[in-house]
Each structure stands twice: as C-alpha cells, then as structure tokens.
Amino acid sequence: MHNTFKIMQRDALPASDPDIDKILSEEEKRQQESLNMIASENLVSKAVLEAQGSVLTNKYAEGYPGARYYGGCAWVDRAERLACERAKEVFKAGHANLQPHSGASANLAVFFALLDPGERILGMDLGHGGHLTHGSKVNISGRYYHSFSYGVDRGSSLLDLDQVRKKVQEVKPKLIIAGASSYPRLIDFRGFKDLAEEVGAYLLVDMAHTAGFVAAGLHPNPVHFSDLVTATTHKTFRGPRGGLILGQEKYASLIDKAVFPGLQGGPLMHIIAAKAVALKEAQQPSYIKYQKSVLNNAKALARAMTDLDFNLVTGGTDTHQVLVDLRNKFVSGLEAEKALEQVNISVNKNAIPYDPRGPYDPSGIRLGTPTLTSRGMNPQQMHEIASLIEETLVSRDSPEGLGKIKQRVINLCLEFPVYSH
C-alpha cells in the first residue's frame, strides 16, 4: 500500500501506472512538507497546471499560427495567438515568441538569429553569477561562438559598468548578454545598452530570474531599449516551465525563423496554453501584490540572516535572491545544502564571486522567496526560517537535533499549505 497523499486528483494513473502515481504522490508530499527556497522555482496556479496537463499535448503544430505544417490547428492557433498578444501587452513588446522550450533554447535561438559561428559574445562569468548559456566553455554558447566574460567587482561583488566597459572595449563583441542566474541586485540594463552602442554590439537581456518583477512594473522594463530579451516563464514569473523571446517588431521574422525551423521542432502547445494562462494572471492586481511580497520577503530574509551573523554577497538584495557566503560559519555550500535537505529546506549550493572553493562544493548557498511567497508566507515567517537555517547548520552533526528542526519545518509548511485556494 503506497502513500496516497494527493494535491491534484488523478483518475486513470493510479491503476494504469502505480509506480509513476506513487512518485507523483511522494513529490506532492515533498512539496507540501518542504520549504522550497530554490530561487529559480515557484508554485504555479491550478489553472496553469490544468492547461499544462491538457489534450493540447496531443497536437502537432510545427510553424506559427495561420502557417502550420499540419491540419487541425484552429484551436491551438488561437491559444498561441492569445499567448503572444498577452506577452506583448504584459511586457510592452513589439514581438513575442512563446515557443522556446526553455530559457536555454531561447538564448540559443537569439544567438542563431544574430550571429555566425565563431563571432564574439560577452556575458557574465558563470562563477560570478552568470549563466551556462551566456558563453560558458562547456555549453554550446561557448563552443560555437567565441566567448568572453565580465565579472563583478572584487571588493563589493557588484557589477561595475566601468569595469565592464573595459572588457567591452577590449573584446569588441558582436553581442553582449546582460542578466544573471545568481546576482541579488538590480542590473543596469540601460547602462549595458550604452556600452553595446559604443562598440556597435547587439544587447541581449536575459531576465529569466526577474521577469515577474518586470511584468508587475516593479523592475525597469528592458524590452524598450534592448535588441532582444529572453526569459523563462517558470521562475518569478510563476508560469509553466519554458522560455520566451521578446523584442522589437523588426526582429520578428529573424527570431521566429531561428526558433522554428532553426532550432526546435513541434511547439509544446499545452505549455504555450499554460503560458497564456500565466500571462493573464500577470495582468491581475493580485499579481503585483504577489511580486511586491516576493521582494519584501527577500529583504526580510536578508535582514534576518544578517542579524544572525551571516555574510550576504553584496550585503543584501533588490530581488528574490539572497546569496549567502558561508565562510565565516565554517561550513561549505554542499554541507549546508545537505544538512538543510535533511530538515526539508531546499536550497542550492552556489559559488560566491572569486570563490576559493570549487564549483561542486562552493562557499555559498542561494536562497529565494518566490515559492514561500506563493504559499502565503510573509516577513514573520522569513525571520523564523532564517533561525531554522542557522539552527540546522549548528546542529548538522546531531541527528536528534535535525529531527526536531524537521518537525518544526513540517509544522510551518502545514500552516501554509500548497494549493490551499
């Protein structure tokens, strides 16, 4: 007899595939009973889940609305048109492509549209908070293009555009990528545009982590002045797993051709419909309230961690992320991640800028507030969670101590159930 805990009712699966049904139940229980502080994750609405788990998965629709390689596309055409129109409204963009399966493929489509193999790109160093797809040598972006990187200031851990300018002038890239995976501060995308103009480069802004704040009008919108903007739809934006590309109308045909037939085959129409649902949610007043709470919670968490003598990279946050340098706590990022996992707190180990340790066991952890906020938590819980983190690290060698903390974590989670509305 397996665990029967369920968030979503399933009719056919329990009998047809009890193994997978059990895995889903266990994962639902894990999500219900864990504090998910992975900064790149969130909790989508039931409406998004329903669109995502719909019959649209049955449909092939290579091409674009009105110009498909398959018959029977009338309804999926409507879904994709709605998604594109809503994306253009939400982000005030001239053009939107909702087909990228992920942020990684959205970025690759932009490179494919604008560059020839071997041309120069300049992105943020992965070890300083950049992303694999911004030119890392182990990624296609660093193998097919001639990639260079800029970093953050050694003293402040902040991006200093004067230092970036030196790199831009030295490299003279054809494309500059602005945007980060673990950088807790606002990025001056407008400043990056000025740097790009100085050398005649394109500017790609990858706002995967902060798209929710841009959609809510809480962070400056880079769509107006960048050449192209990519994002994922599943992080702060709180939609289904996937990517999108936004840009001025003049790039429409280049981008559409790069995504299909350049890079991808059939679009995932169930995901595109779910993106449309999330985009509609992003137009509701409650969405702005939600995104404000994500930011307030991150600030509260940063304050509480600082009060407990944790060192924060850059000293605080303007986003949903809090990047903790653990060196003064004499625990590594991997040890912290493992200890926290034992008490049902999910975080990821993370490099800090100029990290003296290696990438598999770096000196930091990255914390995020989007999922906690989606559960309805507020600054009071952020203080409680900071204490739980501190106590876990102190008690990491005591199974009994960790057991007690885990029970407190579960109790807190059950006060803020997932999918309670």
**The one catalytic residue among 28, 62, 119, 384:** 62
Q: Which of 86, 185, 235, 366 is catalytic?
A: 235
Q: Which residue is nearest to ligand DSN (CB)?
A: 40
Binding mask 400-419 for ligand DSN (x = CB under 6 A): --------------------
Whichever of 131 and 396 has its CB closer to ligand DSN, that residue is 131
Note the helical H segments in 9-146. Answer: 13-16, 18-33, 46-52, 74-91, 103-114, 140-143
In the residue annotation, 57 being an active-site residue is answered as no
Q: Please, which of residues 14-43 interact with ligand DSN by CB under 6 A?
A: 40
203: helix, coil or strand?
Answer: strand
CB 205 within 8 A of CB 91: no
Annotation says 235 is catalytic: yes
Question: Closest distance between ligand DSN and the C-beta of residue 103, in Å?
Answer: 6
Residue 39 CB, shortest distance to ligand DSN, in Å, is: 6
Say if residues 226 and 201 touch (Cβ distance below 8 Å).
Answer: no
- Which is catalytic among the residues 22, 28, 60, 190? 60
Residue window 181-200: x/- pattern of binding to ligand DSN, with contact defined by CB under 6 A: x-------------------
Between 50 and 89, how does the x/- string for binding to ligand DSN read (CB under 6 A)? ----------------------------------------
Contact yes or no for 131/179 (Cβ under 8 A): yes
Distance CA 249, CA 94 (A): 5
Rounded to the nearest 5°, which phi and psi values hold at 147?
A: -105, 145
Structure tokens at 202: 């394109």
- Please report how close the Cβ of residue 215 comes to ligand DSN at its closest, in angstroms: 18
Least distance in angstroms from the C-beta of 143 to ligand DSN: 18
The DSSP annotation for 214-267 comes to HHTTSS--GGGTSSEEEEESSSTT-S-S-EEEEE-GGGHHHHHHIIIIII-SS-
Contact 120, 148 (CB under 8 A): yes
Nearer to ligand DSN, 103 or 364 (CB): 103
The answer to whether residue 232 is catalytic is yes
The span from the CA of 203 to the CA of 337, in Å, is: 35
* Distance, CA of 70 to CA of 68 (rounded, Å): 5
Candidates 24, 15, 86, 90; CA nearest to 53 is 24
What tokens were used for 215? 């959609």
Is 133 or 373 the residue whose CB approaches ligand DSN more closely?
133
Any catalytic annotation for residue 86?
Answer: no
CB of 123 to ligand DSN, least distance (A): 13
DSSP strands (E only) in 113-198: 120-124, 146-150, 175-178
Could you confirm whether 289 is annotated as catalytic?
A: no
| Binding flag, residue 136, ligand DSN (CB under 6 A) | no
Provide, for the chain, the percentages of residues in helix, strand and coil under a 3-state DSSP scheme, each rounded to the nearest 5.
50, 15, 40
Alpha carbon distance 62, 126 (integer Å): 34
Closest approach, Cβ 367 to ligand DSN, in A, equals 12
> To which H or E segment does residue 269 belong?
helix 269-281
62 is catalytic: yes
Binding mask 94-133 for ligand DSN (x = CB under 6 A): ---------x---------------------------x--
DSSP for residue 53: T
Count interface residues toward ligand DSN (CB under 6 A): 4
Q: Supply 134's token pair.
A: 């911004």
From 206, 281, 337, 355, active-site residue:
206
Nearest approach in angstroms of CB 323 to ligand DSN is: 12
For the chain, the C-alpha Rg in angstroms (whole number) is 22
> Do residues 284 and 139 lie in contact, with contact meaning Cβ atoms separated by under 8 Å?
no
The catalytic residues are 60, 62, 206, 232, 235, 241
The residues that touch ligand DSN, with contacts defined as CB under 6 A, are: 40, 103, 131, 181
